[in-house]
Structure 1
Amino acid sequence: MPSIPQPLVPGDDGSADAALTAALAAHAAGTADATAVLTALGEARLLVPVVALLTSSEVGPNGLKQEKESEMALPKLVGQDGREAVLAFTGAEALARWRPDARPIQATALQVCQAAAHEGAAAVVIDVAGPRPFVIEGTMLEVMAAVESGTVDQLDSVTVARVTEAPPKPEAPPKPEGRRWFGRLRRSGS
């Protein structure tokens, strides 16, 4: 049975990191490149959403339908082109803007990128519902995932040098055509 991870930041109030918020604003205004955002991401805590999915129900003694069993899932976006993206948010406000009933799990940008690579996702979309979405994809996603997994030495040194010198400008976030779910954890209801 999976265990619940310990928080990265005990006592976290859900606020977005000020340096990350400033970097995202500067990037959106065109006064900073993606490097500034990636640098700020290295120091910030992100929130990954988890939502409950009803897997079975029953009719209770009062005649009403009630939860019997549900699963917790981490949602992915599927773009019009079929590419999948893992979601992350800078803070509780940005998460609630996307989906108010989602529960936050603290993670680093490197952990989110590693999870996306593990799931075969093409991108990580930060703050998909705003105020300033940012996408990590392609070689940058691959490098960040490799750094977290400790396999960065397996990457081509030219690739690593190219990414660290001039990260590519992120594309627009994939459009949320539909949702797919992964990372399900079973939870029994009463």
Structure 2
Amino acid sequence: MQHERTLAESPFPGDDGSATPATRAVLAAWAESSGSDPIAYLRAVAALCGDRLLVPVVATATSIGTGARGLASDKEAEMSVVLLQAPDGRRAMLSFTGTDSLAAWDPAARPVPVTLDQAAEAAVADHADALLIDHAGPASLVIEDEVLRQLAAGHRLIEVEPGEFGWTTVVAG
């Protein structure tokens, strides 16, 4: 009996994990506004809609064993996405624009490349209240509420005209 494995093609061929400079620039513009410019926020979300994000997965022990010398060790582990919880109980799923920002947060985390709508869908499925982009910087962004729900539904935000935004849906063709 032959066992053949095939790997799915990357949806981001040639991706080296670097952040897109234009995306980082609009995130910086949002941060420079101290979170007060709604146009800068929407531009940042729209830029992320056309880019790749990295969702970190980390190993979580599911079974702990004790070795011959009485030392505890992981017997089994699962890979899990990361959720942060605020003191008020709200939870956010993490994602990053590049491997540099992911490594600044946790160098041991494994990056999974996804689109923003896929990350939003995963956040909603995991009962997160928000998606937190580039938690460790250089400029972070929180996507929540109706914007998160629209993204999770497969919609993408576009800037139709300067300062005018609308939702679109990607149709497989």
User: TM-score range, shorter-chain basis?
Assistant: 0.7 to 0.9
Q: Which residue of 2 aligns with 1:94?
A: 101
Partner of 1:29: 32
Deviation at 1:139, TM superposition (A): 0.9
C-alpha distance after superposition, 1:97-153 (max 9, x if no partner): 1111100000111111111112221100001111111000111111111125xxxxx
AA matched with 1:130: G
| 1:14 counterpart = 2:27 | no
CA distance in 2, matches of 1:125, 1:63: 40
Gaps of 5+ in 1: 149-162, 166-190
Structure 2 partner of 1:83: 90
- Structure 2 residue identity aligned to 1:101: A
Which residue in the other structure is 2:4 paired with? none
CA distance in 2, matches of 1:6, 1:12: 12
1:79 is aligned with what amino acid? A
Identity across the alignment (%):
44
Q: Return structure 1 stretches of 4+ with deviation > 6 angstroms.
A: 61-64
Q: Which runs of 5+ in 2 are unaligned?
A: 1-6, 156-163, 167-173
The residue that corresponds to 1:171 in the other structure is: none
1:90 Cα deviation (Å)? 0.4
Structure of higher RCO (CA pairs closer than 8 Å, 6+ residues apart):
1
Deviation at 1:42, TM superposition (A): 1.4
What is the CA RMSD across the aligned residues, in angstroms? 2.4
Work out which of the residue numbers 110, 114, 131 in structure 2 matches 1:107. Answer: 114
Q: 1:140 aligns with which of 131, 138, 147?
A: 147
Q: How many residues were matched structurally?
A: 148
Could you tell me how far apart the structure 2 residues matched to 1:124 and 1:18 are?
21
Structure 2 distance, partners of 1:133, 1:13, is 21
Name the structure with the higher strand share: 2
- Equivalence for 1:47: 54
